[in-house]
Structure 1
Amino acid sequence: MEKARTFLQLTDDQSEIVSRLVDPAHCSGFYDDFALNGIRVDRVEQGVVVCTFKVPPRLIDRNGKLANGAIANIVDVVGSAAVHVEGLPMNVSVDMSISFLSTAKLDDELEITARALGQRGRYSGTVVLLKNKATGEIIVEGRHSLFRLPISKI
Structure 2
Amino acid sequence: MEKVKEFLKLDKEAEQTVSRLTVPPHRVGYERSFYNEFGLRGLRVDRVEPGFVSCTFKVPPRLTDKNGNLATGAIANIVDEVGGAAVFVIGLPMKVSVDMSISLLGTAKLDDELEITSKALGQRGSYSGTIVHVRNKATGELIAEGRHSLFGEQSSKL
TM-score range with shorter-chain normalisation? 0.7 to 0.9
Q: Could you tell me which of 126, 130, 133 is aligned with 1:122?
A: 126
Mapped pair 1:58 → 2:62: yes
SS in 2 for 1:69: helix
SS in 1 for 2:70: coil
Show the counterpart of 1:98.
102
Show the counterpart of 1:44.
48
Q: Percent identity?
A: 71
User: Looking at CA atoms only, which structure, 1 or 2, has the larger radius of gyration?
Assistant: 2
Distance, in Å, in 1 between the alignment partners of 2:141 and 2:57 is: 15
Show the counterpart of 1:12.
none
1:104 partner letter: A
- Tell me if structure 1 keeps the 8 A contact 2:65–2:71: yes
Q: Deviations over 1:55-105 (max 9, x none)?
A: 001001011100011100000000000000000121000000000000000
Alignment of 1:1-154 (within 5 A): 29-149=33-153
Q: In the TM superposition, what is the alpha-carbon distance from 1:29 to its structure 2 partner?
A: 1.4
- Tell me if structure 1 keeps the 8 A contact 2:54–2:117: yes
Which consecutive residues of structure 2, in runs of 5 or more, have no partner in the other structure? 1-27
Distance, in Å, in 1 between the alignment partners of 2:37 and 2:149 is: 24
- Tell me if structure 1 keeps the 8 A contact 2:105–2:143: yes
Q: In the TM superposition, what is the alpha-carbon distance from 1:32 to its structure 2 partner?
A: 1.9
- Tell me if structure 2 keeps the 8 A contact 1:89–1:150: no
Distance, in Å, in 2 between the alignment partners of 1:120 and 1:90 is: 17
Q: In the TM superposition, what is the alpha-carbon distance from 1:150 to its structure 2 partner?
A: 7.2
Q: Deviations over 1:38-67 (max 9, x none)?
A: 001000001000000000010010111000
Following superposition, which runs of at least 4 residues in structure 1 exceed 2 angstroms of deviation?
none
Q: In the TM superposition, what is the alpha-carbon distance from 1:149 to its structure 2 partner?
A: 4.1
SS in 2 for 1:83: coil
- The Cα RMSD (Å) is 1.7
Given the two structures, how large is their TM-score scaled by the length of structure 2?
Answer: 0.77
Which consecutive residues of structure 1, in runs of 5 or more, have no partner in the other structure? 1-23
